A and B are shown apart, each in its own frame.
Chain A
Amino acid sequence: MARGRYRVYLGSAPGVGKTFAMLDEGWRRKARGTDVVVGLVVTHGRPKTMAQIRDLEIVAPRQVEYRGGVWQEMDVEAIVARRPEVVLVDELAHTNVPGSRHEKRWQDIEELLAAGIEVISTVNIQHLESVNDVVNQITGVVQHETVPDVAVRRADQIELVDMSAEALRRRMAHGNVYPPEKVDAALGHYFRVGNLAALRELALLWVADRVEDSLQAYMADHGISRSWETRERVLVAITGGPGGDRLIRRAARIAGRSGGDVLGVHVVTSDGLSRNSSGLLERHRAVLEEVGGSFHEVAGSDVSSALVGFATAHHATQLVLGTSGRSRWAEWTRGSVINSVIRESRGIDVHVISTDEQAPAVAPRSWRLPIGSSHSVRRVVLGFLVAALSLGILIPLLARYSALRPHHPGPITSSAGFLVYLGVVVVVAAIGGVLPGFVTAFAAAAAVDWYLIPPYGSFAIARGADTVYLAAFVISAAAVSLIVEQAARRRVEVIRSRDEADAVRALADRLAAPNRPHAVLEEIQAVLGRQSVTLLAPAGEAWLTEATVHTAAPGALVGGGDPTGPGGPVRRPEDGEAFALRDGRVLVLQGPALTTHDHRLAAALVSYLEAVLAADRLQTQAATADLLSQGNDLRTALLEAVSHDLRTPLASIRALTTGWLAPDIQLSEALTQDSMAAIDLEAQRLSALVDNLLDMSRLQAGALNLILRPVGLDEVVPAALASLSQDCQNVVVDVPETLPRLNVDAALLERAIANVVHNAVRHSPPQHPVHLGAGTVAGRVYLRVVDRGPGVPLAQRGLMFQPFQRLGDVSSGTGVGLGLAVAHGFVEALGGEISVEDTPGGGLSMVISLPAHHDESAVDLDQLAAIERAPVR
Chain B
Amino acid sequence: MTRVLVVDDERTLLRALGVHLRARGYEADLVETGEAALSRGATGSYDAAIVDLGLPGIDGIDVVNGLRGWTSIPIIVLSARHEHAQKVEALDAGADDYVTKPFNMEELLARLRAALRRTTPEPAPVAMVATPDFRIDLVTKRVTDGAGTEIRLTPTQWHLVEILVRNPGRLVSQRQLLHEVWGPTYVDQTNYLRQFMAQLRRKLEPDPARPRYFLTEAGMGIRFVPDRLADVTP
**Residues of A in contact with B (beta carbons under 8 Å apart):** 683, 687, 691, 694-695, 698, 705, 707, 709-712, 714-719, 721-723, 731, 733-735, 737-738, 741, 745-747, 749-750, 859, 864, 867-868, 871-873
Contact = CB atoms under 8 A, between A and B. Distances in A.
Given A719-B217, A746-B219, A712 B194 contact: yes
A39 B92 CA distance: 68
Contacts of B182: 871-873
B85 interface: yes
B88 interface: yes
9 contacts: A683-B102, A712-B191, A715-B216, A719-B234, A722-B233, A734-B209, A738-B195, A741-B194, A872-B182
B85 A711 contact: no
Given A698-B82, A722-B215, A871-B181, 16 more contacts: A683-B102, A709-B190, A711-B194, A712-B191, A712-B194, A714-B209, A715-B218, A718-B210, A718-B211, A721-B210, A733-B209, A737-B194, A737-B195, A741-B194, A746-B219, A864-B195
Most buried by B among A683, A709, A716, A721: A709
Interface of B: 81-82, 84-85, 88, 102, 154-156, 159, 181-183, 185-186, 190-192, 194-195, 198, 209-211, 215-219, 233-234
Grouping DSSP codes into helix (H, G, I), strand (E, B) and loop, the B interface class, with mixed when no group exceeds half, is helix
A867 B219 contact: no
Most buried by B among A717, A722, A864: A722
Contacts, number: 87
B215 A687 contact: no
A716 B183 CA distance: 26
A707 B81 contact: no
Given A741-B191, A872-B183, A873-B183, A711 B218 contact: yes
Contacts of B215: 718-719, 722
Nearest to A712: B194
B186 A687 contact: no
A705 B89 CA distance: 13
Contacts of B192: 864, 867
Contact of B82 (A694, A709, A711, A718): A694
Nearest to A726: B231
B219 A872 contact: no
B194 A733 contact: no
Contact of A710 (B155, B183, B186, B191): B191
Nearest to B216: A715
- The 10 lowest CB-CB distance pairs between A and B, nearest first, are A746-B218, A737-B198, A733-B209, A872-B183, A709-B219, A746-B219, A711-B218, A747-B84, A715-B216, A715-B218
A873 B181 contact: yes
Contacts of A718: 209-211, 215-216
Contacts of A709: 190, 218-219
Contact of B155 (A705, A738, A749, A871): A871
A872 B194 contact: no
B190 A733 contact: no
A722 B219 contact: no
B218 A733 contact: no
Contacts of A722: 215, 233-234
Most buried by A among B155, B159, B191, B192: B191
Contacts of A687: 102
Contacts of B186: 872
B88 to A, nearest CB: 6
Nearest to A736: B198
A723 B218 CA distance: 13
Contacts of A716: 218
Contacts of B102: 683, 687
A705 B183 CA distance: 32
A731 B207 CA distance: 12
A745 B85 CA distance: 10
A867 B210 CA distance: 26
A707 B219 contact: yes
B162 to A, nearest CB: 13
Contact of B88 (A694, A707, A714, A871): A707
Nearest to A698: B82
Given A718-B211, A741-B194, A868 B154 contact: yes
Nearest to A694: B82
A388 B183 CA distance: 104
A721 B215 CA distance: 12
Most buried by B among A718, A750, A867: A718
A734 B208 CA distance: 10
A710 B190 contact: yes
Nearest to A735: B209
Contact of B198 (A698, A705, A714, A873): A714
A733 B210 contact: yes
Contacts of B217: 719
A745 B88 CA distance: 12
B234 to A, nearest CB: 7
B218 A750 contact: yes
Contacts of A723: 233
A235 B23 CA distance: 91
Given A721-B210, A746-B219, A871-B181, A707 B194 contact: no
Contact of A714 (B82, B84, B154, B194): B194
A873 B163 CA distance: 15
A750 B219 CA distance: 12
Contacts of A694: 81-82
Contacts of B210: 718, 721, 731, 733
Contacts of B85: 705, 707
A750 B81 CA distance: 12
B5 to A, nearest CB: 26
